[in-house]
Amino acid sequence: MSVGWRGLKPGPSRREVLARCDVLSCCEGFSNGRTEWVTLNIIFRRLLWAQALDRRSRLLFYDGQMPANALPPEPPAQEWNSHRYAENARFVSDLGQAAFDLLNPQAGERILDLGCGDGALTEKITAAGAEVLGVDASADMVAAAKQRGIDARVMDAYSLNFNSEFDAVFSNAAMHWMKRDPDAVVPGVRRALKPGGRFAAEMGGHGCVAAITVALCATLEKYGVADPASLIPWYFPTADDYCERLERTGFQVEYIALIPRPTPLPTGMRGWLETFAIPFTNSVAEEGRAAFLDAVTERLRPALCDEKGRWTADYMRLRFLARVAG
Ligand code: BEZ
């Protein structure tokens, strides 16, 4: 049954889209007449796109049954706990100096920190004299950032709603969690920037935590979990892949590099797994989780633990600076 409407002038807001359609499952007849099964986020982005181009588009929404394979798989949820993060992952912001240097924040600039986490680096950017807004998908992390006195909001990186407001967008160790739809993130950043604005970021890059990922998947196979690779919650692009995405969106890439950065883990592999590998661990019955983490740790010991018992994670970083044509 169709519950759609025609024409997009003036365009509906996200709230209106939600109000009009209880179950959005199909978008038909967009641009080239294809019929596609799409998510609400994709429909909404297309509405914005159509508005931006000032096109009269015909969209029909159906509330019919959606086939099981219609939606792209959602990466399993990572849970964030600011206390656990502070205990096991303080090194993430401590090692953010290179990304910070690439940003080179100036006094008086307005900067968006995308995936600000608990705000440790946001605070540093503020200390440089910039006016910073932090956004993060985790309410717990945003609360921790606010405790530092940072202006922070819970926001979905796939639907950033800023328009030409920022001199720079910064992101450290966050964008590899935005796996569901990387192509939604970059245009949102682009829209948020003023003409000539810059995007300085670091994220996990191709090959990041490869040994850890293989150990997690191999151990889960032993636990009888089918297709453990589908649980991988991270997106680790190559420099070519990300450069293309940036250029396609209208950025000029001034610098991009994939950099191996073996990363010492102050609380060992167990602390890392308990903080970052939750989508894998949650696929094991609760009573078996400690043994599962022990098994993964033992698998990794020969590769990532030295003779003194010090653990190092096999991190690769993708670091870039891109600018909107002024
Ligand atoms: C990071 O915080 O940089 C990270 C987290 C999970 C996997 C790899 C990297």
Cα–Cα dist 34/199, whole Å: 34
pLDDT tens per residue across span 280-315: 999 999 999 999 999 999 999 999 999 999 999 999
The answer, yes or no, to whether any atom of ligand 1 lies below 6 A from the CB of 216, is no
pLDDT value of position 74: 62
- The predicted pLDDT at position 325 comes to 82
Q: What is the pLDDT of residue 267?
A: 96
DSSP state of 247: H
Instruction: For ligand 1, atom 9, name the residue with the nearest CA.
Output: 204
Which of the listed residues 209, 212, 280, 317 should we mutate to test ligand 1's pocket, taking the one with most ligand atoms within 8 A of CB?
209
Task: Pick the residue whose CA is nearest to atom 6 on ligand 1.
Answer: 276
pLDDT tens-place string over residues 199-249? 999 999 999 999 999 999 999 999 999 999 999 999 999 999 999 999 999
Pocket of ligand 1 contains residue 27 by CB under 6 Å: no
- The reply to whether ligand 1 has any atom less than 6 angstroms from the CB of 175 is no
How far does CA 323 lie from the centroid of its chain? 20
Each residue's pLDDT tens digit, 147-169 = 999 999 999 999 999 999 999 99
Q: Is 184 helix (H, G, I), strand (E, B) or coil?
A: helix
Per-residue pLDDT band for 78 (boundaries 50, 70, 90) equals confident
Q: What percent of the chain has pLDDT over 90?
A: 71
pLDDT of residue 128: 97
Sign of CA dihedral 134, 139, 140, 144: positive
- 224-256 b/e (C-beta count within 10 Å ≥ 16 → b): ebeebeebbbbbbbebeebbebbeebebebeeb
CA dihedral over 228, 234, 238, 241, signed as positive or negative: positive
Q: Whose alpha carbon is nearest atom 2 of ligand 1?
A: 173
Ligand 1 binding pocket includes 272 (Cβ within 6 Å): no
Evaluate if residue 129 carries a pLDDT over 60. Answer: yes
Distance from C-alpha of 50 to C-alpha of 54, rounded to nearest angstrom: 6
Alpha helices in the chain (DSSP H): 14-20, 40-52, 82-88, 90-94, 97-103, 120-127, 139-147, 182-192, 210-222, 239-248, 268-276, 278-281, 289-304
Residue 44's pLDDT band, with cuts at 50, 70 and 90, is low
Q: Domains in the chain, start-ordered, CATH in brackets? A: 1-73 (no CATH), 82-324 (3.40.50.150)
